[in-house]
Amino acid sequence: MLWCVDTSAWIDAVRLYNPASPLFDRLWSFLEQEILAGRVISPKAVHDELREKTLADSPPFAALVKRVKGSLFAEETPELQARFRAIVNEYPDLTKKGKPFAKSDADAWVIGLAQERGAVIVAQEDPKPGARVPYQIPDVGRAVGLTTIRLDEFINTLQGLPAFVSLGGQTVEPPSSSSTHVSSPGKGGKPE
């Protein structure tokens, strides 16, 4: 599986799983391996946003990004630029609504790259299903046939674990397409 990670997920990963903490060394090493293996990507626009928002605040994360930059950040090819323009034309609120301080259109690049490569999007934005016109990554992604998951689901799924286990004992499996499968616990409390 291929994962296309938005700036919001990288920022929360640094905030929640501090790369400077020895407690999270294995997580960051694992993510680095996944990036170098070509299974985790982000558009160049995400790198631009990270430079402004996160890299200066976390030298260990900046060092990781420097090591994996060539594998992680996809170039803006003519094909990707065409996808980007089509997304912005179809969903102009994606780059404006609720984002008064946004300086880039990284969300549209994330969706375009995920479309181009057949990737699952990883973003920390909440869907706004009641909006007349989609403007959040999960909503626009769904409208163009993509799946979006959150950071915790991504980390669990990367490890081959269920995306989420609720306190009620139900396991939510990673999405296979645009739906989520919930299985009931079987013998011993494990999903069947």
Per-residue model confidence as pLDDT tens digits over 133-175: 778 899 999 999 999 999 999 999 988 877 665 444 444 454 4
At residue 178 the predicted structure's pLDDT band, cuts being 50, 70 and 90, is very low
- 66 by DSSP, 3-state: which? helix
**Cα atoms in the 13 Å half-sphere on the side-chain side of 91:** 26
Catalogue all structural domains in the chain, each as residue range(s) with its CATH number.
Answer: 3-161 (3.40.50.1010), 162-192 (no CATH)
Global pTM value:
0.81
* Residue type present at position 24: F
Per-residue model confidence as pLDDT tens digits over 86-115: 999 998 888 765 554 455 689 999 999 999
- 145 by DSSP, 3-state: which? coil
